Structure 1
C-alpha cells in the first residue's frame, strides 16, 4: 500500500454539513489525455462522534446496496447526524456503469485488490484510496454485496472472525443488530482471503460487516428492505442516527462453510439443471443437479452430488456453465465461539 494516493476530491471530510460530489480517479485514454473517472461520494458530518463508512458497488452487478445507500444519502439531513457518514454507493463506478462484476477499464475485481497500489491500475488505485484515506477515519465499515450475475444468494450478513475474543463478540453483535436471516463467519480462505475490503478494514482496526442480499443481476425487494432496515439499526446503535425509527432485528441463524467440500463445481461445459433451491436443507450424497450436453444429444447428463449436509447458501444463476464454475455453496450451523471459522 506504499505511495501517496493519486485520487482526489473537493469534499472536505472534516467540514460539518452535507456534501455531495465525487472522487476523481485519474485515467488517461486516447480521447481524454488528462481525464478522470467520477466515483460518487457523499459525506454527512455533524460535530464529533463515530464515523461509518458505507459502501456498495464494490462489484458493479450487485444492486440492492447501491439503491439502499443512494436512498440513505438522499434522505439523511446533516443535523440528524451525530458524527459522520461517508457514503459511496458505487465504489467501483466503471463496473457499476457497465453492470459488471469487474472493471471494464482493467478487468480488475475490486474486492480481490486490497490493499491496492497508489500507482497501479484504476482498480488498484481505488483500493489504495479506500485503505489509505477512508478506512483510517472509520469506526465501522459496511460493504453491501449480492451474488451478482453468476450467483443467487440467500439474504445474509457475514464477518471475518475477530482477532481477539472482544473483537469477535463485537462482530457477532453487529450481525445480530443487522438482522439478516443467516449470518456467517468467514476468513475468506476459499475466496478473497486477505484481499477483500473487509480484511483491509479489520487490519486497520475497524469493525467490518459484509452482506449478500440477492443476486442473478436483478433486484431483490427483500434484500433491499433488509439493507435499509439493517443499516438504520447499526447507525442508531452507533448513535450516528440517534432519532431514526427502527424495527427490531429478527433472529439470525449463525452458520459457516466447512472448506472446499461445501462447494459443488461444474466438472464440464454444458447446461446446468439444478436440483435444489437456495435456502433448502440438503444432505451429503443428495443429487445437486445435472450438466447436459446439447452439442452431444445422445450423451447422458452428468449427475452431481452434494458432499456435505446443510443449507444451500447460493446457487449459480446462469444455466450455461464452464468447467470450474461454482454451482452451489452449502453452509452448516455453528456455535458462535471465536474458534468457529469458515474457509469460503
Structure 2
C-alpha cells in the first residue's frame, strides 16, 4: 500500500532540497493537520544512495547532531557523485519532547517496522521509510545511543543478512563505519525484526545501527565516532570520494549473548553497578547490588554475571523497577574475515 506520508522533495532532481515528510495527524485542535518530519536530500547525479537517520528515539543526541553537521558540509560540496537522504529527527514528536517514545501515541519507532500506512503517527513514519525511501537507497545507517536509561559501549550493530552475499555486505559496512566495537546481532534482546535496520535487511539493503552515548546527554566521543564513521562510509562507497577520511582503527567485531545472559532488576530498588561498559567479566563475578526500595533494613540483593564476556551496556539510572535491564553481555566473534 502506498504511504499516506508525503513530501515536496523530488528525489530524482539534482542539487539540495529541504522539506518535510508530512505525517497526517488529526488532533483536537487541528482536524486536518500533519506532523513535520524534517528531510534533506543531496543529489549529485549518478552514484549510490545513502539513507542516514537519527532521532528514531528522541532522547538520543549524538546522531541528531552528527547529521545536522554533515548536512551543512554537504550543502557546500560540489563533488557528490551519488545521493544522500538525511532525516535527523525521524520521530519528530519524540525528538521535540526529548522522549524515547512518541508522546502522541506512545509508539517506539524502532519497534514499529515495517509500519502501517493507516496506523498511528509512529507506524506511518515507519511505513514511509520502508515503502518510499528503501526502494531508493543502497545503504542505510540509523544512529542511536543509550538514551536516558542505558550507558553503552560505543558500538555499531548489523544483522547477519539473509545469505552469504548480504552478510558480507553488512560486514563491509560495519568495517567502513569503524566504531571501536562492531557487533552482529538478531536483536533478540531488543526489537528483533521490528527495527529500522531489520526492515532494511528484509529489503536486501546493507544497514547498521549504533549505540554511541548514554544518559540522554551528548557524548563528545560518541559524536566524534558518528561523524568520522559517516565520512568513511561516504568516501568508501564513492558517494563523496573527496571527503576527508580518517583512517580506520580496526573495529573489534562482537556478537550479543543471549538475553538469558543479561541481568535484570529482581525487584524495585536502587541499583549499584560494579562493572562498566567494555569491561571484561567472568562467570560468577560480582556485577552489582540492588537495594530493595520498600525495605530499608533489608540486605542488598547481590548480582553476579551468569557468563563470561564483555559488558555491552549497564543501566544508567539508579532507581530501577522489576524487569529493568541492568547489564547485557557480548562475546568476541571468531574467524571474522
TM class by shorter chain equals over 0.9
Q: Distance in 2 between matches of 1:68 and 1:326?
A: 28
Match of 1:342 in 2: none
Q: Distance in 2 between matches of 1:218 and 1:249?
A: 26
1:250-329 matches, cutoff 5 A: 250-329=249-328
How far apart are 1:316 and its partner, in Å? 0.3
How far apart are 1:10 and its partner, in Å? 0.9
Match of 1:172 in 2: 171
How far apart are 1:78 and its partner, in Å? 5.2
Unaligned runs of 5+ in 2: none
Match of 1:18 in 2: 16
Match of 1:121 in 2: 120
> Contact 2:166 / 2:204 at 8 angstroms: preserved in 1?
no
> Contact 2:268 / 2:293 at 8 angstroms: preserved in 1?
no
Q: Distance in 2 between matches of 1:106 and 1:160?
A: 28
How far apart are 1:320 and its partner, in Å? 0.5
Q: Distance in 1 between matches of 2:55 and 2:66?
A: 11
Match of 1:232 in 2: 231
How far apart are 1:83 and its partner, in Å? 1.2
> Contact 1:17 / 1:78 at 8 angstroms: preserved in 2?
no
Match of 1:4 in 2: 2
Structure 2 residue corresponding to 1:55, chosen from 30, 53, 66? 53
Aligned residues: 336
How far apart are 1:260 and its partner, in Å? 2.1
Q: Distance in 2 between matches of 1:131 and 1:78?
A: 28
Secondary structure at the aligned position of 2:125 is classed as helix
Q: Distance in 2 between matches of 1:30 and 1:163?
A: 45
Q: Distance in 1 between matches of 2:335 and 2:214?
A: 27
Matching of residue 28 in structure 1 with residue 35 in structure 2: no
Match of 1:73 in 2: 71
Q: Distance in 1 between matches of 2:64 and 2:118?
A: 27
> Contact 1:54 / 1:141 at 8 angstroms: preserved in 2?
yes
Q: Distance in 2 between matches of 1:199 and 1:229?
A: 24
Q: Distance in 2 between matches of 1:242 and 1:111?
A: 31
Secondary structure at the aligned position of 1:254 is classed as strand
Match of 1:332 in 2: 331
1:86-105 matches, cutoff 5 A: 86-105=85-104
How far apart are 1:190 and its partner, in Å? 2.5
> Contact 1:254 / 1:336 at 8 angstroms: preserved in 2?
no
RMSD (CA atoms): 1.2
Secondary structure at the aligned position of 2:165 is classed as helix
Q: Distance in 2 between matches of 1:137 and 1:294?
A: 51
Change (3 A) 1:281 1:26: same
How far apart are 1:269 and its partner, in Å? 0.2
Q: Distance in 2 between matches of 1:37 and 1:122?
A: 8
Deviation by residue 1:264-301 (Cα, 9 ceiling, x = unmatched): 10010011011111111111101111111353221111
Secondary structure at the aligned position of 2:314 is classed as strand
> Contact 1:46 / 1:78 at 8 angstroms: preserved in 2?
no
Match of 2:201 in 1: 202
> Contact 2:50 / 2:83 at 8 angstroms: preserved in 1?
yes
Secondary structure at the aligned position of 2:227 is classed as helix
Q: Distance in 2 between matches of 1:262 and 1:38?
A: 41
Secondary structure at the aligned position of 1:146 is classed as coil
Secondary structure at the aligned position of 2:171 is classed as helix
Secondary structure at the aligned position of 1:142 is classed as strand
TM-score (norm 2): 0.97
Q: Which moved more, 1:167-176 or 1:274-283?
A: 167-176
Secondary structure at the aligned position of 2:65 is classed as helix
Q: Which moved more, 1:293-302 or 1:140-149?
A: 293-302
Match of 1:37 in 2: 35
Matching of residue 217 in structure 1 with residue 216 in structure 2: yes
Secondary structure at the aligned position of 1:243 is classed as coil
> Contact 1:45 / 1:78 at 8 angstroms: preserved in 2?
no
Q: Distance in 2 between matches of 1:254 and 1:47?
A: 34
